[in-house]
Amino acid sequence: MIPDIRQAFNQQFTPSRYADLLAGLTVETGVTPAFRVAETPVFVPKKLEEQLLAAGEEVIKTVRRPDLLELTEAAIPKGYLVPKENHHPQFIIVDFAVTRNEAGELVPQLIELQGFPSLFGFQEMLARQYRQYMPVPETFCTFGPGLDRAGYVDLLRRCILGTHHPSNVILLEVLPRRQKTLIDFVCTEMLLGIPVVCVTDLVQESKKLYYLKNGEKVRVQRIYNRMIFEDLATYKDELGTIVNFQHELEVEWATHPNWYYRVSKFLLPFIHGPFAPKAWFLHELPVLPQDLENYVLKPLFSFAGQGVIIDPTPAHVEKIEDPENWILQQKVEYAAAIETPTGSAKCEIRLMYCWPDDAPAPVLAQNLARLSKGKMIGVNYNRDLDWVGGSSCFFEP
């Protein structure tokens, strides 16, 4: 998105450099990414960065509303409420489409948000690998304002470990070895020294949780939660008998499962501004817009773009039996803003915030980018294309 840097990058790119990048990721972690990694990072111009930061802060203001718990009471599905909710989510991610305004300038538009961790471990490693194998300007940075690698790792440590020893903190997931984000789990373990534990490997005694290490029980005092709770239902038969998280347990969460629902698409209708497309709960609309083709239908309780109806019709709406669980959002036109040797790519940028227990407000820590040449953004929708996939943003100094 910075023409001279983009042109220089494309001219210096070689397939062997890309192969070395992918090999470097595997050598460092012992895991081959299960999703496509893009050939290029994204070089973000200063003006767009400033707009992203301002837009992100407006979203954070909504998350920090004093009445947020009351506002989001209906956000948690029945049967998914978990006790001992803490005061705020330790992680918040906010996704923006890169679009063009009427003047042709690049501007961000809010797509989604979540009170849930993203690839905080992997993105740090990916940025380092881009620097090692690709022509990245030395002064460009992927971290949030004022952070370097040491500050970033310390911020993650405060969020994930809290006050506990790494051996008493676990990264918890459903069947982690089969997850596409396994490489991120390994990166996190390497950064912080916490074990990756499957939900089936937890041992409960009264209100205490343990995991087994070398045949011995180790107390779990804090959970870095990477579980999407719907997976517990999806894999119920395979998982067998597991801990009932609806019971009160003597454990801390980072982030508590309830925040996955509270800070989610549920908040889109409450966020306003030039960066926020209009959004409504479907059941609160007295009539559908006449230009329905300019909107998208999003289910509240879905992940990674699943269930989204990009080109809705009245017939789609009529078939929805639970309109209270759907959002109608103004459609966003992604800009083909990144020139590649095989055609222009669209871009979505994720701002990744950390909010330690002892911090007054969230801190922008890291970012993630997705490049696409198809109708849908996301690494699952561009498998047979090149110069697309997961990436990192390097911000102009």
Closest CA to 304 of 171, 114, 124, 96: 114
* Under 8 Å between Cβ of 397 and 47: no
Backbone angles phi, psi at 53, to 5 degrees: -65, -40
Residue 169 lies in a domain: yes
Give strand pairing partners of 347. Answer: 371
Number of domains in the chain: 1
- Residue 131 CA to residue 50 CA, distance in Å, equals 23
Residue 234 lies in a domain: yes
CA 246 to chain centre: 25
Residue 247 class from Cβ within 10 Å (0-12 exposed, 13-18 middle, 19+ buried)?
Answer: exposed
Tens-of-pLDDT digits for all 397 residues of the chain? 899 999 999 999 999 999 999 999 999 999 999 999 999 999 999 999 999 999 999 999 999 999 999 999 999 988 899 999 999 999 999 999 999 999 999 999 999 999 999 999 999 999 999 999 999 999 999 999 999 999 999 999 999 999 999 999 999 999 999 999 999 999 999 999 999 999 999 999 999 999 999 889 999 999 999 999 889 989 999 999 999 999 999 999 999 999 999 999 999 999 999 999 999 999 999 999 999 999 999 998 776 557 889 899 999 999 999 999 999 999 999 999 999 999 999 999 999 999 999 999 999 999 999 999 987 676 556 667 899 999 999 999 9
**What kind and span of H or E run contains 98?**
strand 91-100
Query: Encoding tokens for residue 217?
Result: 């029980």
Residue 209 lies in a domain: yes
C-alpha distances (whole Å) from 315 to each of 293, 310, 329 are 12, 14, 17
What is the pLDDT, as a whole number, of residue 52?
Answer: 98
Residue 309 lies in a domain: no
C-alpha distances (whole Å) from 201 to each of 102, 211, 284 are 54, 6, 43
What is the pLDDT, as a whole number, of residue 79?
Answer: 86
- Residue 17 CA to residue 364 CA, distance in Å, equals 30
What is the pLDDT, as a whole number, of residue 380?
Answer: 59
Residue 187 lies in a domain: yes
Q: Which residues contact 64 (CB under 8 A, 6 or more apart)?
A: 88, 361
- Residue 281 CA to residue 324 CA, distance in Å, equals 6
**Domain of 268?**
3-277+332-395
Residue 311 lies in a domain: no
Q: What is the pTM of this model?
A: 0.95
Residue 368 lies in a domain: yes
Residue 313 lies in a domain: no
Torsion over CA: 186, 187, 190, 194 (sign): negative
> Which of the 8 DSSP states describes residue 200?
G
